[in-house]
Amino acid sequence: MEAVYEKYFRGNLPHIWCPGCGNGIVMSAIARALDKLNYPQDDVLFISGIGCSSRMSGYMDLNTVHTAHGRALAFATGAKVCEPRLHVFVLMGDGDAAAIGGNHFIHACRRNIDMTAIVINNSIYGMTGGQFSPLTPTGKRATTAPYGSIDRAFNLVALAEGAGATYVARGDVFHAVQLTNLIVEAAEHKGFSVVEAVSTCPVSFGRYNDMPEPADMMLWLRDNTVTVQQAAKMSEEELADKIIIGKHYETEAVEYGDEMARLLARAKEAE
């Protein structure tokens, strides 16, 4: 029996991800979202960077590009400007988007080009052996922080909003149905949309942080997430270790592709 989303997969499964990896859950959430959006597969461009999560472009039956580390958004900007009919999805990991590609990320937000960036945040550099990343919560252990990370983590949602993204949301793999709906909303929004998908890495993160089983990490997400609506009624101390999920921000702004078309028209007139 086939699931609704199987037509979006290339059929080279099983994937290489570890048992219980959240990437697979995000992948099925994206496929369900594509099924809801009902875009023709030929009109979807799916670009990913480097990392565990970015292997996803190899499994999805869409126009896919597996690009350089941190530079997925740069490739996507070029593709979208040349071919505005494409629905562009950019998939990055937390290290890819916030550390190696941090500059590309904020400048893509600033330009407000019409695409959907999905950042899978598993709090760790999984592929290289579990070093702490800019999104590792303070105090959590990693292979390079055996006594707990002392760095403060990025708030990716606030960063994207401050940098100028026009749709910002955060979902997580325990609330996978909500994640699907957020991806659908983000794709339908005209402008640069960011969806942070808080994910699990049971092997490199969970084992070091008293969550040895993949299911423990899922229950950790269940117990430590609050919705935007609930968070509005809570104090800062209560929210200290909580992950706030839901749509955080949406606004309208001039889209880069439209502005580019107007610029080209002006330049033609001047000739």
Partner 1 sequence: MAKKFKVDLNQKTCKACGICMALCPKGVLGKRHDGKAEVVDEAACIGCQNCSVHCPDFCFVVKEAAADDK
CB of 172 to partner 1, least distance (A): 11
Cβ-based nearer residue to partner 1, 18 or 106: 18
Verify binding: residue 15, partner 1, rule CB under 8 A.
yes
Verify binding: residue 16, partner 1, rule CB under 8 A.
no
Among 11, 14, 40, 146, the residue binding partner 1 under the rule CB under 8 A is 14
Q: How far apart are CA 199 and CA 94, in angstroms?
A: 10
161 touches 168 (CB < 8 A): yes
Evaluate the omega torsion of the peptide bond into residue 14 and state whether it is cis, within 30 degrees of 0: yes
Among 68, 158, 215, 234, the residue binding partner 1 under the rule CB under 8 A is 215
Q: At what angle do helices 102-111 and 156-163 cross, to 10 degrees?
A: 50
Verify binding: residue 11, partner 1, rule CB under 8 A.
no
C-alpha of 235 from chain center: 27
Verify binding: residue 19, partner 1, rule CB under 8 A.
yes
Verify binding: residue 3, partner 1, rule CB under 8 A.
yes
C-alpha of 230 from chain center: 23
Cβ-based nearer residue to partner 1, 39 or 220: 220
Cβ-based nearer residue to partner 1, 108 or 221: 221
Verify binding: residue 51, partner 1, rule CB under 8 A.
no
Q: How far apart are CA 103 and CA 205, in angstroms?
A: 26
Cβ within 8 Å of residue 58, ≥6 positions away: 10, 12, 64, 66
Site for partner 1, rule CB under 8 A: 1-3, 5-6, 9, 13-15, 17-25, 28, 173-174, 176-177, 202, 213-215, 218-219
